[in-house]
A and B are shown apart, each in its own frame.
Chain A
Amino acid sequence: MLKLTNIVKSFNSTGKPEDQLTVLNGLNLTINDGEFVTIIGQNGSGKSTTMNLITGVIFPDSGTIELNGGDITKEKEYSRARYFGRVFQDPMMGTVAEMSVLENMEIAIRRGRRHSPIRWGFKKQHRELFINALKEFDLGLDKRLNAKAGTLSGGQRQALTLLMATMPQLPSHKSIRKDYVKFAYGDKEKAKEEVENAYKEGKARFLEKKKEILADKSLKKAEKREQIREAFNRFDNEVRKFDVTKPLLLLDEHTAALDPKTAKRVLTLTDKIVREKGFTTLMVTHNMKDALTYGDRLIMFAGGEIVLDVKGEEKKKLKIEDLLNRFETVN
């Protein structure tokens, strides 16, 4: 659950009074888990500012941002990156043009994890994962893993960014434990005790099993390795049960730079992924038709405030004319 409370953000606050610009003045917004929210609004209505506040590009003057019960208001952009998958308006921004598709995806799968200066950056098991994911997308990229991202078309790059944003995350055990405590509702000490105990017990069991396997002389070397890996996977799964952070998908006008046909394709892809994997999604768009067709909640921004917030059945009944009328009356 993402919760913005009393957010105030103004730009140029040290300048002359007439130059000051208060974009958001006491914004309250709650987004529940699993919701697909579309956001519309005119330029300068504060929707991009809201997105930037959520991802930490800029910080609010006052107010708090909570994610799953944990306060992330002061967390830096790179350290909260693991909670968000982002797709930008500019297709050039989401991928590194000079790197290959494979390298781009390798960076994305490690989002929010510690980057080791010793471990090699490419993994065989990752490669299979990427190929399968690309095949699902049906872009013809699964055979062009080594192509530079700069040689792809805008639509392909945007789809690749979308894939990178929705990539299965493999956070380290340490960060899983840390996040569990951070995002625990209520008693944090108790949560810490619980997760640490579970981790310690699991680890002790794994080490015991490992010792047993290594001492067993009837096994061959390869078998030993296999069994140790199995034991580790069991331990790994036990720890991953505590993983509370489901990435939030933030799409900032991600089809604005594409031609209508490609935009349609990318949007369908987005919808499919969000529905299949159950991502909580925020999608900013200027296209009212898209805002109505996709998603199950619609929010309209005007002058830094939410002027319209409809869900479910009510949203299905909405028509473009209603939205246009609303736009007129607001201004």
Chain B
Amino acid sequence: MPSFVNIILNILVTGLPCCLLALGIFLTYRILDFADLTAEGSFLMGATVTAAMVMYGINPFLATLAGCGAGAVCGFITGSLNRFLKIPKLLSGIITMTGASSIVMLIMGLANGTSSHFSNLMTLNIAPDSPQQTIYSIFWLWDSTNSIITAAVMTAIVIVVMFGIYYFFGTEYGMAIRTTGLNENMARSQGINTTAASITGVTLSNALIGLGGSLYVQKMGSLGVESATGYLVIGLASILIGEAIFGKRSFKNWIISVSLGSIVYFSIIEAAIKLNVPSGMMKLLYAVLIVIALCLPAIKKFFVVMWFKFAGTRFGQKVISFFVEIGRFFKKIGLAIGRFFKKIFFKIFKKGGKTDAEVN
């Protein structure tokens, strides 16, 4: 049993930072209609800035906030390149990403104190008694619960961010940003400053990605420029998997789908690791996963068509009616139990309310 718990904790701990990444990419890719390749750069940037600050023993919350801010700066640059200098969206993302990797190496070099001022690897010393504290380690109580607390802190942050996104995109300005992404001409004719809205959106998205990077590095404890590549693809795959499995009926549903998508993605990766898939094959697995994610809607459609064909046959109808009968039976039982509890509830609290049976 403990090993099962460990697997789940592992999935959460690797998947939750990527939830933020996926949410950030979701904001640009789905809401703003802005194919933003900055993601990789801002993820690395957020991670590096946080790691450097943690290395110097600065308050971890401040370090996380700084990582978030570093991501936001990357996003702001991309947005400005696109809006003010009229560079195409795809290209301005690539430019920022490329530029950011140099800055990242510079920060790493300065933090490591290398003579050439550049470095592409940094390692933190994360231990309960180390002066380098992370946002997880300041909550650590004793050894055996460390990973649980880490996962709990991450979950709390992700949930807060999800609520934040949901609230913000329901406010007046959030609605303006959504309008800008969906129909820019209409947005301008309705008095929305689309330049500002677009840049704000991209900034916000990259701030989330930077936060994801910062959570990631504080868990992993080490960061290499090479090891952090490919996160853009992971984020995109998470969005696609989430949408295909959990749907996008409403905005609320959509946000939850995207975040769960990355958990599902990492569950599959974790399963592959447990099944001893050689590490050389992992990239192929990523590719296959993305193909599956992309064609999930088509597969879903295929099954729906098959289902209708099945339901059309006489045998199929028999099977369906059998299950419907079972369903009705359980519904009856459920209603009876519900009525029973309602009666008890009103008897205890005497609110003067009527039960269902009395109303009927």
The residues of A with any CB-CB pair to B shorter than 8 Å are 55, 77-79, 81-82, 84, 86, 88, 93-99, 103, 106-108, 110-113, 115-122, 164
Contacts and interface: CB of A to CB of B under 8 A. Distances in A.
A117 B190 contact: no
Q: Quick one: which of A81, A97, A107, A116 has the most chain B CB within 10 A?
A: A107
List of 10 A-B pairs having minimum Cβ-Cβ separation, nearest first: A81-B191, A112-B191, A117-B173, A115-B172, A115-B173, A121-B175, A115-B176, A111-B191, A96-B182, A96-B183
B179 A96 contact: yes
Contact of A55 (B182, B189, B192, B193): B189
Interface string B185-200: 1111111111000000
Nearest to A250: B189
Of residues A84, A120, A164, which shows the largest number of chain B Cβ atoms within 10 Å of its Cβ?
A: A120
Nearest to A114: B172
Contacts of A113: 191
Given A77-B188, A81-B188, A99 B182 contact: yes
Contact of A121 (B174, B183, B191, B194): B174
Given A82-B191, A93-B185, A119 B179 contact: no
Contacts of B191: 78-79, 81-82, 110-113
B182 A115 contact: no
A19 B172 CA distance: 45
Contacts of B178: 96, 99
B170 interface: yes
B360 interface: no
B171 interface: yes
A117 B172 CA distance: 6
A287 B26 CA distance: 45
11 contacts: A79-B191, A84-B189, A93-B183, A93-B185, A96-B178, A96-B182, A107-B187, A115-B172, A115-B192, A117-B174, A120-B172
B175 A107 contact: yes
A7 B192 CA distance: 27
Contacts of B189: 55, 77, 81, 84, 86, 88, 94
Contacts of B171: 115-121
A117 B168 contact: yes
A116 B171 CA distance: 7
Contact of A107 (B168, B190, B193): B190
A121 B188 contact: no
Given A115-B172, A119-B172, A95 B190 contact: no
Contacts of A108: 190
A94 B186 contact: yes
B190 A121 contact: no
Contacts of A79: 191, 193
Contacts of B193: 78-79
B194 to A, nearest CB: 7
Contacts, number: 82
Interface residues of B, number: 22
Given A78-B187, A78-B192, 6 more contacts: A84-B189, A88-B185, A88-B189, A94-B186, A103-B175, A121-B175
**Main secondary structure on chain A at its contact with chain B?**
loop
Contacts of B179: 96, 99, 107
Contacts of A99: 178-179, 182
B221 to A, nearest CB: 36
B175 A111 contact: no
A97 B172 contact: no
Given A78-B194, A81-B188, A103-B175, A122 B170 contact: yes
A96 B192 contact: no
Contacts of A103: 175
A116 B192 contact: no
Contacts of A116: 171-173
A116 B189 CA distance: 18
A111 B173 CA distance: 12
A81 B186 CA distance: 10
Interface in B108-155: none
Contact of A78 (B170, B172, B182, B188): B188
A27 to B, nearest CB: 22
Contacts of B188: 77-78, 81
Contacts of A164: 190
Which of B172, B173, B189, B190 is packed against the most chain A CB atoms within 10 Å? B189
B131 to A, nearest CB: 38
Nearest to B192: A78
A121 B186 contact: no
A94 B187 CA distance: 9
A4 B188 CA distance: 22
A120 B170 contact: yes
Nearest to A57: B188
B170 to A, nearest CB: 5
A115 B196 CA distance: 11
Question: Among B176, B182, B183, which residue has the most Cβ atoms of chain A within 10 A?
Answer: B183
Nearest to B194: A78
A119 B185 CA distance: 24
Contacts of A111: 190-191
A121 B171 CA distance: 4
A195 to B, nearest CB: 22
A113 B187 CA distance: 13
A211 B170 CA distance: 34
